[in-house]
Amino acid sequence: MNPGHDIEFYSDLLARHQYALVDRVGAPAEILEALPLVLLVPDYLRSDENAMPGLLPLGPDKPYMAYLAECMKAGERNASENPVDTLLVASPDIGQRLLEIHLTSRLIVYSPQGRAFLRYYSSDIFPHLVRILSVERLKSLFGYKAQVCQWTYRFQNEWITVPVPDVNRHVPISCVIRREERESLDIVGDVNKALDAYRKEMGRPWENHAEWNEKACAIDHSISIAQRIYRLDAPADLNAFALQALRHGERFHSHPRIQNLLKETASRPSAYRDATHGITDDEWAAMATEIHSHRNF
């Protein structure tokens, strides 16, 4: 993990992009007041306008560029001081108004489960979209005409750029996703909580994005099992189940002791977490050994 950057780094980063996306909910009012944001508000969410993101044009002629670089540097110490969530490079033939229309349309995602609000502009959400969506549907987010050429998001103190997927067939014109993709998107908040908890347990930052992605996929899989097979739905139970899978192996729940606890507690929110809280490290290790020795668990 890069421990930090200087102002020149952020000035150069901004100079290489044409737009910034801002989560107005998380940014201080005094910072937002200094930035001429273009609000992205779908028609049916007009009543929630204050919670909608903003698009900020960038360029050497903009008087706020130096101020924005200073805010991004300050964000290394206090994330709330950095209003920039993600950065964009638009296609040369796409004007700002067409980009606004496209980005506004992508705030709503459609699936067999219905429509939902998609916080694609957040660095906490965008990398999950990269791992969850098919290349065709990710291309649709960028724009089926490649309205966005590059999308850059913050990972720890790094800034990672994702190019528009190189695919031209079967790209949805609207932001339509499959059932299983929607199921994964619906639990992204739970996945992020488990990722944060696991990172704190390790006592260090993620080594790199690959490590983060591996753990995110594993947590996604474990939470899906907890929901579908064991009917757990309380956030505390899902978090406990996911962390136990990371610590003790993805098959930990096949042990008879855990099976019994799952049956006894599934109907009571947080009961599974509480029931497993007192299991000692030695007991977990013994169960892992038994699972390894008895593949029929």
pLDDT score recorded for residue 293: 82
Contacts 24+ apart (CB under 8 A), 209-214: 209/127, 209/155, 209/158, 209/160, 212/127, 212/155, 213/127, 213/131
My answer on whether 129 and 16 are in the same domain is yes
**Closest listed residue to residue 154, CA positions, set 130, 131, 122, 132:** 122
Residue 183 lies in a domain: no
Same domain assignment for residues 144 and 244: no
Would you say residue 2 lies in a domain? no
User: Is there a domain that residue 225 lies in?
Assistant: yes
> At which of 127, 145, 177 does a domain end?
177
> pLDDT at position 296, please?
57
d(CA 220, CA 246): 11
Same domain, 96 and 125: yes
182 occurs within a structural domain: no
Q: Answer yes or no: do 151 and 203 share one domain.
A: no
Domain count, the chain: 2
Q: Are residues 160 and 30 in the same domain?
A: yes
Give the SS3 label for residue 110.
strand
Q: Which domain holds residue 152?
A: 7-177
Strand partners, 19: 57, 88
Residue 196 within a domain = yes
Predicted confidence at residue 227, as pLDDT, reads 97
pTM of the model: 0.93
Q: Write down the pLDDT at residue 294.
A: 74
Inside any domain, residue 157 = yes
- Domain boundary (152, 177, 202) is at 177
Say if residue 163 is in the same domain as residue 17. yes
Residue 134 within a domain: yes
Residue 166 makes CB contacts below 8 A (sequence gap 6+) with none
201 and 98 in a common domain: no
Q: Are residues 157 and 218 in the same domain?
A: no
> 140 and 95: one domain?
yes
Residues 24, 130, single domain; the answer is: yes
> Are the C-beta atoms of 152 and 86 separated by less than 8 Å?
yes
User: Are residues 82 and 101 part of one domain?
Assistant: yes
Domain boundary among 145, 177, 209: 177
Domain presence at residue 282: yes
pLDDT, tens digit only, all 297 positions of the chain: 456 899 999 999 999 999 999 999 988 999 999 999 999 999 989 999 999 999 999 999 999 999 999 999 999 999 899 999 999 999 999 999 999 999 999 999 999 999 999 999 999 999 999 999 999 999 999 998 889 999 999 999 899 999 999 998 999 999 999 999 999 999 999 999 999 999 999 999 999 999 999 999 999 999 999 999 999 999 999 999 999 999 999 999 999 999 999 999 989 999 999 999 999 999 999 999 999 887 656
DSSP string for 231-258: ---SHHHHHHHHHHHHHH-TTGGGSHHH
Determine if residue 255 is left, alpha or beta; phi over 0 gives left, psi from -120 to 50 gives alpha, anything else beta: beta
Could you tell me the CA-to-CA distances from 273 to 18, 99, 269, 276 in Å, in that order? 46, 46, 9, 5
Q: Kindly state whether residues 272 and 141 are assigned to the same domain.
A: no
Provide the pLDDT for residue 209: 96
Q: What pLDDT is recorded for position 2?
A: 55
Q: What is the pLDDT of residue 238?
A: 98
